[in-house]
Structure 1
Amino acid sequence: MASSGLSIPGVTDKYGTNDLVESLMEVERIPLKREQATLETYQNQQSAWQEINRKMSSLRESVKSLYSFENPFNSKLTSSSDENAITADATRDADFGTIKIDVIHPASADRFMSGRIDNDTEVPQGRYTFTVGEKTVDFNWKGGKLSDFVTALNKRGGNTIKASLIGISSKKKALVIESLIPGADNRLQFKNDALTFAKSIEMIADVPVEKTEFSSSISEYKSAQTKDLKSQQGMPAISKDNVRIQDSTITVLPRGGVEIPIPESVQSDRTQQISFTFAEEDTADITEEINAGANGPNLPDAGGITFGGIFINNNPSDSTVQTPATQQKPVQLKPISDDRMLFVKTKDGIEFAVDLDEFEPDSETGLRTVKINMEDYEGAVAVVIRNSNTAKTLTLSVPQATNEADALGYAPLNPIATASDAEFKYEGITLTRSTNDIDDVIPNVTLHLHDATEKTATLKIEPDVDAAKEALITFVGQYNQVIAEMNILSQTKPDIINELEYLTDAEVEKANERLGMFQGDMSLTSGKSSLQRIVSGSYRYSEDATVTMLSQLGISSNASGGTGGYNASQLRGYLEINEKTLDSFLENNLSAIKDLFGYDSDGDLIIDNGIGYLLDKQLSAWVQTGGILSNKISSLTTRIDASNKKISQLETQLEQKEAELKNKYATMQGTLNSLESQQTSISNWANQGNNNR
């Protein structure tokens, strides 16, 4: 604390009181300086513990990644012989191997272009509605320039639709509107004023809808097969005899069923869509009548006469018809209720059920409009109506088929691309999907289709050796940093720092400040020994384990294999990597290396042993809340707070002491000045008296 000195206006410090006060205060400041030095020591120690805590935490995260679910030894890499046509992503659970794929064509989206339109064309006011599959873009347009309309559409289009303008000439341009969702079911459609405008700019035009009528002659239908979930003796078989056709309406009574043949022209055209109306109505259950008829006739009682007060019975009837009392009681039929009533039959005899719940009934008529896309049923030859129910009548219109594109009533005049599903071959089987990102064909693999392949493409799924190697190198580096920090803090040999050639000049300077800071701290010594014991241990994770020690991978304190005698650096516990040995093991032993870092030793499906697991457990004791380092840092925080408080008190006391000394010496100096003034006055008076004599 610097002294401000005595400040007395008009009076000089001729007695040296300022220096005297400063000398006295210097002695008084000794306790303060001692406490400040103690505080600095605490702060440096806390900083050192925080630094090793940071390095241990990084090492812990590194070792956890080596045995956790996200360990790099399960990572997969995929490659393609034709990346322009097909690529793939594989999850950690994907099987290694090769995949053969032929891309016939990827899925595409509708992209329509208008005719030539003037640059100053304006879009009329109105409601513009565009649909792509199940998504709709709908907005009210106030009218205005075409470029502003494009901006408005793109603002609302999101990931569904996009518009752009193409300059044809200096005075003409073309409008392009495209769907952003591929797939045959995701066709771009225009509604409301969007439909009118698209026609006006020759983007689309009206086309007649051609329909293919199915036969309405019952003679051309076959009876559907009986396929009750549980057969009952006496239950009528499914038959076309219970089917009626009148005025293009097919009525299927209980236990009725037919196979309606699909016209050959429709069978061969995958773009065709079969449609018809469908309704169902509850009726009287036919099993009641059947069960009643099965009981046989009821014969009247033979009767008798009364004579003389005596009743005499007639002889029983000698009819051969069994009465209810004498005949065997038949098994009663149980009602049948089955919601599976509509099927598509393929040429190989397989029937695919059609879920009627997908088609909502009309709110007024109650009729469902059923639509069956031929592209969804490879080799479809018939529509099967099977009414297995005993108390339900079905009504449907005679089916008809239309081309899906024609069904809209318009078609693009200048299609750049049209919506279609991806088509590709896998294992010789032709498959279709509505997207180019396909994750449901090969388990844990997602295919990405880009273009058609000229020849069969080969996809390879291989281990990500580079990721595993990088993770191991990171682990070794962070392990060595922790060991180095432990050596610096617990020992006083300068060579410990000189050996660390990777340190910068600034880091070397800081390391020298920490050298031997915690010499004699047994926690550091024992902690280092525990870490070394874990990384040098043997781990037999199975009876046929091939890799049981880290040194087998080329990672050890003497991995370089030097034989030059004493090496102090190796004795300090640092790990080295023999890259050639490591590369060799990584190539064919990834699974074994994974088990080396973490495995289940007691069969409870929980990892409880291995280098990574044990290091994680050891390091957790140091870095977790309430752990070794947390307690040391917390203890120093308490000491630092107490030291700061003590320093504050000492500074206050020194300020008071200095003020007190200054006040005393100022008073003393004032008194001396007064005495000196009096002495001068007396001397002057005496001298004056002598002169008068």
Structure 2
Amino acid sequence: MAVSSLGAGSGVLTQSVIDQLKAADTASIITPIETKITLQQQKGQALSLLTSLFTTFQSSVSALNDSAIYQKRTVSGNVENEVSVTADAGVAVQSFSISDTQLAKKSVIESGRFSSTSSYISNGSGTMSIGIDGTTYDIDYTSSTTLADLVTAINDKAGSDLKASTLQVGTNDYRLILTSNETGASQAITISDSANGSLDYALYKQQDTIGSGLFTSATSSVLSSPVTQSTKLSLSQALSDGGVSIEIDGVQYSTAFDTDHATTLANFKDAIDASGLYTATISGNDITITANTAGANYTITSPFSTTDSSASASTTDTTPTVSGTYDITMNGTTYNVAYDQNTTLDSLVNSINSTVGSNVASIKQVGSSYQLVIESTAEGDDSTFSVSDSGGYLSSKLTTGITNYTPGAEVQQAQDASFKYNGITVTRSSNEITDIISGVTINLLKDGSSANIDIAQDVDSISTEMSTLVDSYNSLISQLTSMTTADTEAGTVGVFNGDSSITSISRDITRLFTSINNDGYSLAQFGIDLSEKGTMSFNSATFKTKFNEDTTLSEQFFSGLTTYDDNGNVASQKDGIFTQLNALTTRYLGSYGSDGILDNLTTASSDAVTSLTTDKTKAQALLDARYETMTARFVEYDSIMTKLTSQFSSLQMQIDAMASGG
């Protein structure tokens, strides 16, 4: 509490006097506490920095103590875009060769041409069967199933093994594409029509295929005008009385005649013609009967009967002989398939297959009709596929107006990968091979590739981590030196100067870095050097040379060695240099960043700041209260002195007056 008029009465008890007294007490009571708070805050900041630097240092120490870094492997000898090999940690150091590679491939099937994706795939109902890897998928279809519908149905049912799609390869030219999901010979895709053969050949025929015109049945004659049987009946003499009767296939045809022989034969002709089944012709005493239906045959079971026993007759059957060849040219070879007057559609199929030497011909049912289908002996388009008739008797359905079914194609044949491993031929279904060497993956990228592969310990990774360790060590030690020493010339004192808990850190670390183990190994031999000023340096070349002299002993020097008995219990344990350093850093940092020396010091510093702040607050409150009381008393004293001064002035005036009057 400051009073501006304080001292007005006395001229002695002024506010400046109180301020001077309070400043003196503040300097002796409050300032020391504030100094301590500042120091603890500085220590807290310093400890935070040390903890961060120590954590970075510990990270490298832990990495070099962990066996994982010594299990890392490098692979050399990979050939870009041809052979790629990777090795997991811990794989045995080794070398091997890869040569004569043949890539595993997927099966890719391309159908024949469809004019659009909405084209129908069949003129009837049935089932399309797709086989892959020992599994058959049956896809039902109808006459209203389109190419797009088929793609959807295949993917819905067989999508786990293959993918169906459509590809437009030209104007009004769409193809069904089937691709196996995996590689390998077992992934070969097969397509067949397991129903009545109404599926469009473009979907499952891979050969150039032609189809004839339609026949009424599989046993139809293949001739343009099938030959017929004819029977000539010859009478040996004129008959004076009686009649004649002839039985044809169980039907009797008879007439009476008189001495007018010609008239009698004419009447008999009329009776035959009236049947509609046969036609009769007369020549002299002969009458010839011919079937009206092409290819029909008949039998006369009662060739002659008459009441005149002296009369006689004879019959003669005639069937013209037909011969020729159905000439089929494909893949540069012409096959001459013989036919005659008795050849039917199904017998022609047998003759074609026998002549060609393989089952290239078949009969396809198209609705209620039948069609001859001939497949090329080779897959793919064949511009030389043609047919002709050398005899001139065949139906034009077999030679002109032939339907050419656009064949599908096996765009890519499914096959296994093949290669030589150290000269031994190996096959696998995939181009990624993981089962030859445990932990090693071989990727074949190109046919005909070769590579000499070396799998070695990744010393570069260890060297890099060692370099990181040296950098983190120098940063940590530099800060420790600054925080724990006094510079008389610069007039600076480290915040932890004289603090043994902090000064011991650099001493403990340096002691381990300069130690020698029982095998005579030291970090100095691995390219680590300490200067007189305590700065550490690292020579990577020296490190690699020393480490590779004996990688087993080097690893043991760094991370130690633990052996186990038959029961899995630890039999012996030898700590490495970084095992010891890891234990030291853990002692300072604690487990998971707590309960270590630095953490405890940080906590203590923080607690000290809190406690000192509380002490300062209390001391300030007491000091403020004291001077508020003092100010109040000064005001009171000043008032009294003012009154006394006033009284004295009045008295002085009286005295002065009396003296003047006297």
Alignment TM-score, normalising by the size of structure 1: 0.47
Higher strand fraction: Structure 1 or Structure 2? 2
Which structure's CA Rg is the greater one?
2
Alignment TM-score, normalising by the size of structure 2: 0.49
